[in-house]
Amino acid sequence: MDIKSKIESLRNELRLHNYNYYILDNPTITDYEFDIKLKELQALEEAHPEFFDANSPTQRVGGAVTKNFNTVVHDFRMYSLDNSYSKEDLLDWEKRIKKMVDGDVQYTCELKYDGASMNLTYENGKLLRAVTRGDGVQGDEVTTNVKTINTVPLQLKGDYPERFDIRGEIILPIEGFLKMNEERIANEEEPYRNPRNTASGSLKLQDSAEVAKRPLECLLYSIKGNNLNISTQFEGLQKAREWGFKVPKEAKLVNSIDEVLEYVEYWDKHRHDLPYEIDGVVVKVNSLYQQDELGYTAKAPRWAMAYKFKAEQVSTRLNEITYQVGRTGAITPVANLEPVQLAGTIVKRASLHNADQIEKLDIREGDEVFVEKGGEIIPKIIAVDLTKRPENSQPTEYITSCPECETELIRPEGEAKHYCPNYSGCPPQVVGRIQHYISRKAMDIEGLGGETVALLVKEGLISNYADLYELTVEQVIPLERMAEKSAENLVNGIEASKQIPFERVLFALGIRYVGETVAKKLAKHYKSIDALMHAPILDLVSVDEIGERIAESVVEFFSSEENKIIIERLKSFGVQLEISADKLANQTDKLKGLSIVVSGVFETVSRNELKKLIEDNGGKVSSSISSKTSYLVAGDKMGPSKRTKAESLNIPIISEQEFLTLLK
């Protein structure tokens, strides 16, 4: 088989496995086998850029970065839906319809998926673009991000129309949402509020590789186009399924409004059996001919109606308000409730957010409170049942000192939260900081877990992360559940962390507001901890994406004598506190401000090396040519369409050698 056919056949095979896995939920090979094939395809595509295809399964991993999302006018306006909240509303709607159309009316009942609406345009079976609803007339183009969503087919199958739009909802299934939050909580980041906001926020992330990491899905519900040869809504759903889209099987064709009411009632009860959230049901007149007769109001189709479920509420007793202290010293009040069944789960705790929230609702221990689970996974208290307030009830007095170390709490101006300022003596802060330091995304220390850290602190063996590097096997062996082997592993793991690159060390230090991305930016800009330590606020805020809040936090961190000593000690142990010399030696600003596209095969360097050279020298690698492209570096066998496009936009086309001279 020649290379081109080999690539095509791998692509087709991977598409099929993707479909089996994500759409049919019925994989026929293991994840491992899938990965092997994907890697094989990646290698072939890398070696043969002339066969590049933007819709290849390899494109799902993301990587391209979008700075600004273009505005695109929809070919077909994206209307909103009229809402109803009761049976009567639905019966009224039926009456209005019956007056306007002839003949019997069938309805397609669908679930109302709670996410972000998305319009996908396909041409010749390939995904052309993905655009958000926006104001209904125009939205933002987010194709690069949407491509990473596995349930969005990049290549259709079967007998699809030449060009059409298809609409759906981008959702985040509950399980995936909870997993993402677990990780955030472990990192002491504010958990995401609900799956819907997280899904819609994901679409506007600049880094598509970040989007690829999120377990988003796209559920489809409507096809738009000219001459599609489809005559009912339900038929449209079936066809979409045949072409490879994910269309939930809960959609149902019914013959009367009574059956619609049954459907509504059923799903109001069973909504929590679904793997994703719905906020109601959408009923649509099935015949597209009748839909045409009914038409649209200024804002919504007359042929469809949403039925919104009520947010579920229960009342229960608030037994106690407790307070948690986080790694950064932030205090979070928690309502401990009499366990109660709500929205499919047993609820024992609710978030109280902060002191203001408690005061605003006048929440007190012993109160009967109303708890609601709206779009949020973590339930919240929405009101107090004052008729049931006990006689001797007293207003809640928010704690003034830390529940863990008794230090007086402070509340920084403009912040809603209280903090315990006992940075080096408050146990959850001390332990939390070290736990963060060793965590997977930070120093990733093998052989050392969170519980052991707590134990080491408790036993007085360590009190900050620099102490880790002085631990000996002999000190560790006597600890609970430690043996010689595990003690050795622990010490070796700590030793190995000295190789972790500077940017991750910076993240590991646990400076408030300095997450992974910010740490990368700062490391790249300042190149060493010494430079960063001495940077004044004004200089910090001049760095791309670094705001005042972060800058102040950085300055505060390094102004502490204690932190300075810890940093000096880390330095003396050999922890990476600057970008390594060989990395640095190759870094310049020579290509600053330039956006460069690379295409073809090269002689002296590989394509990846070329891209790295661009980035190391301050330039930006871009995957497609636009008027903003500074250069196209052309190798052997460059795709002809890239050349034509560059020529038409007057973008300079340079050779590998010319590029390398730029760097001299």
The catalytic residue positions are: 112
User: 152 with 218: CB under 8 angstroms?
Assistant: yes
Say how many residues touch ligand AMP, by CB under 6 A: 11
What length does the chain have?
Answer: 664
User: Smallest distance, Å, CB 263 to ligand AMP?
Assistant: 12
3-state secondary structure 455-512: HHHHCCCCCCHHHHHHCCHHHHCCCCCCCHHHHHHHHHHHHHHHHCCHHHHHHHCCCC
- Does 327 contact Zn ion by CB under 5 A? no
Restricting to residues 160-199, name those near ligand AMP by CB under 6 A: 169
Q: How far apart are CA 468 and CA 486, in angstroms?
A: 15
The conformational region for residue 439 under phi > 0 = left, psi -120 to 50 = alpha, else beta, is beta
- Does 108 contact ligand AMP by CB under 6 A? no
- Which of 237/402 has CB closer to ligand AMP? 237
Residue ranges of the binding site for Zn(2+): 402, 405, 420, 426
In this structure, the strands spanning 138-140 and 71-73 are antiparallel
Greatest alpha-carbon pair distance for the chain in Å reads: 88
CB under 6 A: which stretch of 62-70, 105-113, 358-366, 491-499 binds ligand AMP?
A: 105-113
Angle among Cα 435, 438, 443 to the nearest 5 degrees reads 150
The residue within the footprint of Zn ion, chosen from 119, 422, 497, 629 (CB under 5 A), is 422
- Does 306 contact ligand AMP by CB under 6 A? yes
Burial of 612 per CB tally in 10 Å (0-12, 13-18, 19+) = middle
The residue within the footprint of Zn ion, chosen from 402, 448, 567, 638 (CB under 5 A), is 402
29: tokens are 């090979």
User: Smallest distance, Å, CB 132 to ligand AMP?
Assistant: 10
- Does 503 contact ligand AMP by CB under 6 A? no
The residue within the footprint of ligand AMP, chosen from 15, 60, 74, 112 (CB under 6 A), is 112
**Nearest Cα to Cα of residue 600 among 631, 640, 651:** 640
Q: Which residue has the tokens 């709206």?
A: 374
How far, in Å, are 510, 514, 557 from residue 189 at the CA level?
11, 11, 18
Binds 327: which of Zn ion, ligand AMP, none (CB < 5-8 Å by kind) = none
Restricting to residues 439-468, name those near ligand AMP by CB under 6 A: none
**Nearest Cα to Cα of residue 126 among 164, 152, 90, 155:** 155
- Does 277 contact ligand AMP by CB under 6 A? no
- Does 511 contact Zn ion by CB under 5 A? no
CB under 6 A: which stretch of 27-35, 107-115, 477-485, 605-613 binds ligand AMP?
A: 107-115
User: Smallest distance, Å, CB 115 to ligand AMP?
Assistant: 7
x/- map, 221-240, ligand AMP, by CB under 6 A = x-------------------
The residue within the footprint of Zn ion, chosen from 94, 165, 188, 404 (CB under 5 A), is 404
**Nearest Cα to Cα of residue 518 among 500, 504, 536, 534:** 504
- Which of 136/403 has CB closer to Zn ion? 403
- Which of 251/575 has CB closer to ligand AMP? 251
CB under 5 A: which stretch of 195-203, 357-365, 383-391, 405-413 binds Zn ion?
A: 405-413
Check residue 397 and report its DSSP letter. Answer: P
663: tokens are 């760097």
Using CB under 5 A, list all residues that contact Zn ion.
402, 404-405, 407, 420, 422, 426
Using CB under 6 A, list all residues that contact ligand AMP.
80-81, 110, 112-113, 117, 133, 169, 221, 282, 306
